[in-house]
């Protein structure tokens, strides 16, 4: 979704306020693709600070579906994003990309709201996602989700160890 910045760029001191609905349906990054299951409009304020500099303030709330770190079940994570940025239109796009990594959302005389939200998501991505604090995860041996079921893997492991100890014990007894 592009916002036309012509009016605000032409007039020093001009403030533009708008609510925009991003079109992004999923967040795709190196970590994978995550569906955006709820998105509120992004409320934006764009202020011409003079000297071809823009101040961009905004906020939004969205819910992203991310697998639990331990059991891989889907978790709907709601993220509140709020940001304040400055865009210097005197700089060329190449220059800006070098100095301000997230600047690419302003292209020429338009602002790409999806790119803006994307860069904010990258910065605010949760480092840890759990379906619940005490998620038991999945069994590393048979893959059973231990929140829903139990398995005998760990038990068998201990049984095996006990048998070995018993074996050694018996050997000593024989001597």
Q: Which residues in this chain contact Zn ion in the complex, by CB under 5 A?
A: 68, 70-71, 131, 135, 139, 141-142, 144, 151, 153
Q: How far is the CB of 135 from Zn ion (least distance, A)?
A: 3
Of 18 and 147, CB closest to Zn ion: 147
Of 5 and 68, CB closest to Zn ion: 68
Q: How far is the CB of 10 from Zn ion (least distance, A)?
A: 52
> CA-to-CA distance for 67 and 17, rounded, in angstroms?
36
Q: How far is the CB of 149 from Zn ion (least distance, A)?
A: 9
Of 42 and 135, CB closest to Zn ion: 135
Of 45 and 73, CB closest to Zn ion: 73
Under 8 Å between Cβ of 128 and 15:
no
Of 104 and 139, CB closest to Zn ion: 139
Q: How far is the CB of 121 from Zn ion (least distance, A)?
A: 22
Q: How far is the CB of 65 from Zn ion (least distance, A)?
A: 13
- Residue in this structure with the two tokens 């994003």, named with its chain if needed: 81
> Exposure of 142 by Cβ count < 10 A (0-12 exposed, 13-18 middle, 19+ buried)?
exposed
């Amino acid at each position: 979704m592009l916002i036309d910045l012509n009016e605000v760029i032409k007039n020093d001191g001009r403030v533009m306020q708008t609510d925009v609905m991003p079109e992004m349906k999923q967040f795709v990054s190196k970590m994978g693709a995550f569906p955006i299951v709820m998105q509120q409009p992004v409320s934006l304020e764009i202020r011409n600070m003079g000297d071809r500099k823009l101040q961009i303030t905004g906020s939004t709330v969205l819910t992203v579906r991310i697998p639990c770190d331990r059991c891989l079940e889907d978790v709907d994570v709601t993220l509140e994003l709020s940001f304040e940025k400055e865009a210097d239109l005197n700089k060329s796009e190449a220059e800006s990309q070098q100095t301000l990594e997230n600047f690419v959302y302003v292209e020429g005389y338009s602002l790409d709201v999806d790119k803006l939200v994307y860069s904010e998501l990258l910065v605010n991505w949760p480092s840890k996602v759990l379906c619940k604090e005490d998620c038991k995860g999945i069994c590393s041996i048979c893959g059973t989700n231990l929140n829903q079921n139990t398995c005998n893997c760990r038990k068998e492991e201990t049984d095996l160890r006990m048998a070995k100890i018993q074996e050694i014990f018996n050997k000593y007894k024989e001597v």
